[in-house]
Amino acid sequence: MSENFRDTLEAFENTFPDRDYLIEINCPEFTSVCPKTGQPDFGTLTFSYVPDKSVVELKSLKMYLQLFRNEGIFYENVSNRILDDFVAVIQPKQVTLLASFSARGGITSDITCSYQKDA
Amino acid sequence: MSENFRDTLEAFENTFPDRDYLIEINCPEFTSVCPKTGQPDFGTLTFSYVPDKSVVELKSLKMYLQLFRNEGIFYENVSNRILDDFVAVIQPKQVTLLASFSARGGITSDITCSYQKDA
Amino acid sequence: MSENFRDTLEAFENTFPDRDYLIEINCPEFTSVCPKTGQPDFGTLTFSYVPDKSVVELKSLKMYLQLFRNEGIFYENVSNRILDDFVAVIQPKQVTLLASFSARGGITSDITCSYQKDA
Amino acid sequence: MSENFRDTLEAFENTFPDRDYLIEINCPEFTSVCPKTGQPDFGTLTFSYVPDKSVVELKSLKMYLQLFRNEGIFYENVSNRILDDFVAVIQPKQVTLLASFSARGGITSDITCSYQKDA
Amino acid sequence: MSENFRDTLEAFENTFPDRDYLIEINCPEFTSVCPKTGQPDFGTLTFSYVPDKSVVELKSLKMYLQLFRNEGIFYENVSNRILDDFVAVIQPKQVTLLASFSARGGITSDITCSYQKDA
Amino acid sequence: MSENFRDTLEAFENTFPDRDYLIEINCPEFTSVCPKTGQPDFGTLTFSYVPDKSVVELKSLKMYLQLFRNEGIFYENVSNRILDDFVAVIQPKQVTLLASFSARGGITSDITCSYQKDA
Amino acid sequence: MSENFRDTLEAFENTFPDRDYLIEINCPEFTSVCPKTGQPDFGTLTFSYVPDKSVVELKSLKMYLQLFRNEGIFYENVSNRILDDFVAVIQPKQVTLLASFSARGGITSDITCSYQKDA
Amino acid sequence: MSENFRDTLEAFENTFPDRDYLIEINCPEFTSVCPKTGQPDFGTLTFSYVPDKSVVELKSLKMYLQLFRNEGIFYENVSNRILDDFVAVIQPKQVTLLASFSARGGITSDITCSYQKDA
Amino acid sequence: MSENFRDTLEAFENTFPDRDYLIEINCPEFTSVCPKTGQPDFGTLTFSYVPDKSVVELKSLKMYLQLFRNEGIFYENVSNRILDDFVAVIQPKQVTLLASFSARGGITSDITCSYQKDA
Amino acid sequence: MSENFRDTLEAFENTFPDRDYLIEINCPEFTSVCPKTGQPDFGTLTFSYVPDKSVVELKSLKMYLQLFRNEGIFYENVSNRILDDFVAVIQPKQVTLLASFSARGGITSDITCSYQKDA
């Protein structure tokens, strides 16, 4: 399967590692495919993280998210899997991912999941 | 009566049970009937829940909410009853339901009720 | 069938028949049923008309629109049929009906139809 | 009855009578009473007029509109009657009155009526 | 004086007394009279309360608020007095009333007052 | 090439052919691929048309637009080509297509193209 | 009196006199004084003009408008007088001035006046 | 100097002294003068206070704020000085003043200062 | 001087030359320098044009607009000059340029200029 | 390098040093250059600080931020460096800087960094 998506994500060095600061990245052009209906899903992903030694490289994040374009995956799974990939590559002090999907059948869904590095 | 509405709600397995994360579902097309006047009521229901072992299946939630279309029921009762049904079938760690009803006589009402699983 | 829906519409006398003036009525709580899927549709109807001898009675308009609540009918048909009923009962100098339906499959539809009394 | 309401409206001299210019006055705090139900109605009145020899005095317009506070009168009638009073006292070259009433039974109504002085 | 306004307020039984839940009621069509100038005041009242044994009947709340239509009373007094009446009749576990009045002399005022039942 | 995309579009009979009326369809989830960079493009397509003998079937329109998901095509070309396909299959009296694409390099583009049947 | 206000307005040469083009200038910080009550008035002035040989110098326009800060003058008069001053100094091909004043007694006023050079 | 501005502020008795409640007063028409450039400044002042024995009289607050109309004073100074005057005359349990000034040189400034009566 | 800015603009072939259609391009990140004060100016440029044989290449338009980043030039001049460059290189059937500049001294300016090819 | 940018920042004396109060400064016209692509970046900087003995002089802050106009620097670096400069010159009790950059490749970034003086 597509477990090697995370190889696309790149980190670069955080040049202010002694200060805890927040980076919020908003990606309104996420799209994947519903595995049950084959219909495209559309959503906005928002990453809010406190970097440790690494900061995500924005273009690599864009390329990583585009890998899901033709991937069949449920809302809950795509949200948690992207959080896992982000944590594995960037290793932030903490990160929250909010994934807001557009309406299907008159119903919208938002998934919010977080990671906190052990003290 | 209509006590078996909750049979329509379906759960599927939460594949990330070890992580507490939040799912928010927004349903702007809820309608029921006022038991006193026979007039239709319209509202928006928002479920915010932390899943335990189960996640609600969205299409079954839509079908469940449509069962109230011709049901005569007061605002407070429909809000609490839907919360009870959601808890009984999905058994989340916690859930909050916000039900916002459109104006009647120039007055709008919002009902917010919550459930928290015992620790 | 339901051709007698228009009997519910009531007119009352226009007390300013010598002045052409515009009445716009906005009904955001319209709902009917899709004849193909059985799923409910939701929309906002806006009537803009210049009365001749009659003005529509607002409560009767509300009751008339509620008759479509469990009626299976396509967007184009419901819009044109409601225009026809309005013209038959109220006989305005002119009327435009805008029917805006909420999103289905990520797509929204608006229907605009008009009637002009012959000079 | 209350036909002498218009005595409250005051005009003062238009000091730029040779230039056609537009004055728009927005009154969002209009209230009257429904003659059928006895319930209060609320609306926003907007006057747009080209003055001839007179301009309306704003405080007198406010006092005039307050005379309707406990008056039972239908939407169409109050709109046309206020237009008539304005024309009788101010005698503008032209005037349009838009009266937007707040929702009743989930339905809102706007009335637009105009007057044009003969050339 | 008008101390018996509260007799108009009606309570009905809370059928979910074991669950603390929040009811928010928004009333945008409140109007009273300034006791100093005799000019009408306009405001929006928002009640947020946790019911105990009783829930307020919405139509009675509307009729109760209409009793202030021609009542001369200051902002601070009307807010606190309505809170007192609500507490006396409904006896909620807690309630907050926000009263937002429209601009006078270019200045707007909001009053927020609360009641908490003793534990 | 992909010239047979239009085979996916379906028409059904216009049951009110004697009345000129306007249908506006808004499709906010359009996506294709930039042929130069390989990057995905996102846009909103709005069709406004007066039907003649046929009306477009909405689900077939959705499926048709999804065919462009992995198609490399420039803004101007995709807009004009979709208009051509719509005209060929639906044969409306007139149609306007507005295609609004999201920002690239800080710049957004809207394309508006129209067709008018000869009288 | 203050008839020499217009001396403050400065023009500079229009370097594209052969092309008719529109300049719109929005001044949201206008204030003068009501001559009847002595209370300050606040408004937004918007000039839309087609220059002929001259273009208004923006800083001089700002200084000119500030001359009204402690001037007692009615809405209609200030609007027409500023238009006259602008025409006298800048001599545009055409100009429209929209003056929107903030609410007094719950009522707002907009004045729109125009000038067109003879052909 | 102008230290006697505060004499214009008037208090009247708080008739609900036993209940802590919040009064928020929004004044969007504040203007003073920059002492360095002589240019007018414009801002919105918002007072949020819990009254003790006194409540501010709104018209006196309006007249007090108008005293700054031609006063040269910096943002930080005017905010703190108005807070001091309010505390001296009204003696509230607590008060927060937010002063939001409009853009100068493309930069806007908000000042927030508070006072808390000793327990 | 910088008269060769227009060499940066590139055209590519319009593949639908027989249909008059509208292209609207919105560029919110324009910046130049005020020649009098040396301070930076910021604006949004919107091009609306009907192409003839050529369509503007978007990246070249972006690069062209960046050439003004450190250029000292007045609002009216930059607007008319950019229109001239666009017409010279793209040779559209018609084009309108709207340039909206951000506030300076509390005043904003919009310039709208157009070109129409001779018939 | 450009380490002497901070020499441009000027402080003046805080005349209310005994009161902790908040100053929020919003600078929507920040621009720098991406060091990798040479393309301009645009952003809004918001400083929220509690002054100690000094307050920042607003015009010097504007001139300081303009020094970055042609400076190649990454988002994270510019945010942290500006915070460091502000702390070095103004020495506030606390300060938070929010830097919101406009979209690049369909992705926006916000950086939030803070400084707290040791107690």
C-beta separation of C79 from C99 below 8 A: yes
pLDDT at D94 > cutoff 90: yes
* Band of residue D90 on the pLDDT scale cut at 50, 70, 90: very high
CA dihedral sign, ordered G83, G88, G90, G93: positive
- Average pLDDT, integer, range B37-44: 95
Can you name the residues that pair with J48 across neighbouring β-strands?
A: J24, J96
Touch between chain J and chain H: 3 or more Cβ pairs under 8 Å: yes
Per residue in G2-54, pLDDT (tens digit) is 568 999 999 999 999 999 999 999 999 999 999 999 999 999 999 999 999 99
Query: Alpha-carbon distance I35 to A24, whole Å?
Result: 37
pLDDT at B3: 65
The Cα B2–Cα B5 span in angstroms is 6
CA distance F2 to H69: 70
Mean pLDDT for G62-66 is 97
Average pLDDT over residues C79-85: 96
Q: Report the mean per-residue pLDDT for chain D.
A: 94
The model's pLDDT over C21-50, given as tens digits with 9 standing for 90+, comes to 999 999 999 999 999 999 999 999 999 999
Interchain CB distance below 8 Å, B107 and E25: yes
pLDDT surpasses 50 at E8: yes
Inter-chain contact E25–B108, Cβ cutoff 8 Å?
A: yes
Residue A71 has pLDDT above 50, yes or no: yes
Residue E93 has pLDDT above 70, yes or no: yes
B55 closest CB neighbour out of A76, A113, A114: A76
Q: Would you call D38 exposed, middle or buried from its count of C-beta atoms within 10 A (0-12, 13-18, 19+)? A: exposed
- Residue keyed to tokens 């829930």: E55
Q: How close, in Å, is residue B102 to chain D by CA atoms?
A: 8
User: How does residue J114 score in pLDDT terms, banded at 50, 70 and 90?
Assistant: very high
% of chain C with per-residue pLDDT over 70: 97
For residue H49, name the pLDDT band (cuts at 50, 70, 90): very high
Nearest to I63 by CA among I37, I85, I84, I48: I85
* pLDDT reading at E119 higher than 80: no
CB interface of H with G, residues 22-81, below 8 Å: 28-29, 31, 39-40, 42, 66, 69-70
**Predicted pLDDT of residue H115:** 97
- Give the chain D residue whose CA is nearest to the CA of E101: D29
**Interval F19-40: pLDDT, tens:** 999 999 999 999 999 999 999 9
**Angstrom distance (rounded) from CA C88 to CA F43:** 42
What average pLDDT does the structure give for chain C? 94
Tell me, yes or no, whether chains A and C touch by having 3 or more C-beta pairs under 8 A: yes
**In this structure, what DSSP letter does residue F15 have?**
S
The whole-number average pLDDT for the span F1-24 is 90
> Chains meeting D at 3+ CB pairs closer than 8 A?
B, C, E, G
pLDDT tens by residue, A7-59: 999 999 999 999 999 999 999 999 999 999 999 999 999 999 999 999 999 99
Q: Which candidate from D80, D105, D106 shows the least CB-CB separation from C19?
A: D80
The chain F residue lying nearest C75, using CA atoms, is F23
**Known catalytic residue at H20:** no
Question: Quick one: pLDDT at residue G3?
Answer: 65
**Which helix (H) or strand (E) element contains residue H62?**
helix H58-66
- Short-list E57, C41, A107, E17, CA closest to B75: E57
Q: Look at J28 and H111 and tell me if their CB atoms are within 8 Å.
A: no
**Residue of E2, E24, E8 lying closest to E98 (CA atoms):** E24
Model pTM score = 0.94
pLDDT band for position C2 (cuts 50, 70, 90):
low
Chains F and J touch each other (3 or more Cβ pairs < 8 A): yes
Cβ atoms of residues F23 and F79 within 8 Å:
no
Nearest-angstrom CA–CA distance, H85 and J92: 26
- At residue F50, the pLDDT reads 97
A94-101: average pLDDT: 97
Measured from the Cβ of residue E33, the count of other Cβ atoms closer than 10 Å reads: 17
| Residue C105: per-residue pLDDT | 86
* Record: contact G106-E103, CB cut-off 8 A: yes
**pLDDT score of B1 more than 60:** no
The tokens describing B78, both together, are 């429909």
According to the model, what pLDDT value does residue E118 have?
A: 84
- Tell me the per-residue pLDDT of H11-32, one tens digit each, with 9 for 90 and over: 999 999 999 999 999 999 999 9
Question: Could you tell me the two tokens for B111?
Answer: 């009902």
Which residues 6+ apart lie within 8 Å of J18 measured at CB? none
- The helix/strand count (H/E) of chain G reads as 2, 6
Determine the distance in angstroms separating the CA of E20 from the nearest CA of chain D, rounded to an integer: 30
Annotated catalytic residues of G are: 34, 41
Pick the residue from chain H with its C-alpha nearest to I108: H106
I62 contacts F106? CB cut-off 8 A: yes
In this complex, whether F and I touch, counting 3 or more CB pairs under 8 angstroms, is yes
Structure tokens at G108: 């707002």
C41: annotated active-site residue: yes
* Residue of I107, I109, I110, I111 best to disrupt the G interface, most CBs of G under 10 A: I107
Catalytic residue among E7, E18, E27, E34: E34
Q: In this complex, is the C-beta atom of G17 within 8 Å of any C-beta atom belonging to chain H?
A: no
Which of J39, J102, J106 shows the shortest C-beta gap to F102? J106
Nearest CA in chain G to I37: G59
So what's the pLDDT on residue C48? 98
User: How far is Cα C71 from Cα D18, in angstroms, rounded to an integer?
Assistant: 60
- Which residues of E are less than 8 Å from D31 in CB distance? 31, 40
Tell me how far CA of residue E5 lies from CA of B105, E61, E85, G62, I41, in angstroms.
Answer: 20, 11, 8, 55, 61
In chain F, what residues touch I58 (CB-CB under 8 Å)? 104-105, 107, 109
Query: G23 to chain I: nearest residue by CA?
Result: I111
Q: To the nearest whole angstrom, how far is the Cα of E19 from the nearest Cα of chain G? A: 44
**For residue F119, pLDDT beyond 80:** no
* Residue G119 clears pLDDT 80, i.e. is over it: no
| Phi/psi at D93 (5° precision) | -65, -40
Instruction: State the pLDDT at residue A75.
Output: 92
pLDDT category of residue F118 using cuts at 50, 70 and 90: confident
The pLDDT-based confidence of I118 (bands split at 50, 70, 90) is: confident
Name the residue type at position E83. L
Q: How far apart are CA A51 and CA A90, in angstroms?
A: 8
Asked whether the predicted pLDDT for residue E2 surpasses 80, the reply is no
Average confidence (pLDDT) over H93-113: 95
Q: Which residue of A has its CA nearest to C39?
A: A105
pLDDT range class, residue G1, cuts 50, 70, 90: very low
CA distance G62 to G72: 19
Task: State the pLDDT at residue I3.
Answer: 65
Mutate to test the interface with I, among G14, G19, G21 (most CBs of I within 10 A): G21
Contact B102 D106 (CB under 8 A): yes
Question: Percentage of chain F surpassing pLDDT 70?
Answer: 97
- Catalytic residue (one of C34, C52, C84, C113): C34
pLDDT, residue E64, reads: 97
pLDDT of residue H3: 65
Closest-CA residue of F relative to I30 is F106
Q: State the best of I30, I33, I60, I69 to mutate against chain J, taking most chain J CBs within 10 Å.
A: I69
From CA H79, how far away is CA F97, in angstroms rounded? 54
Residue I105's pLDDT is what? 86
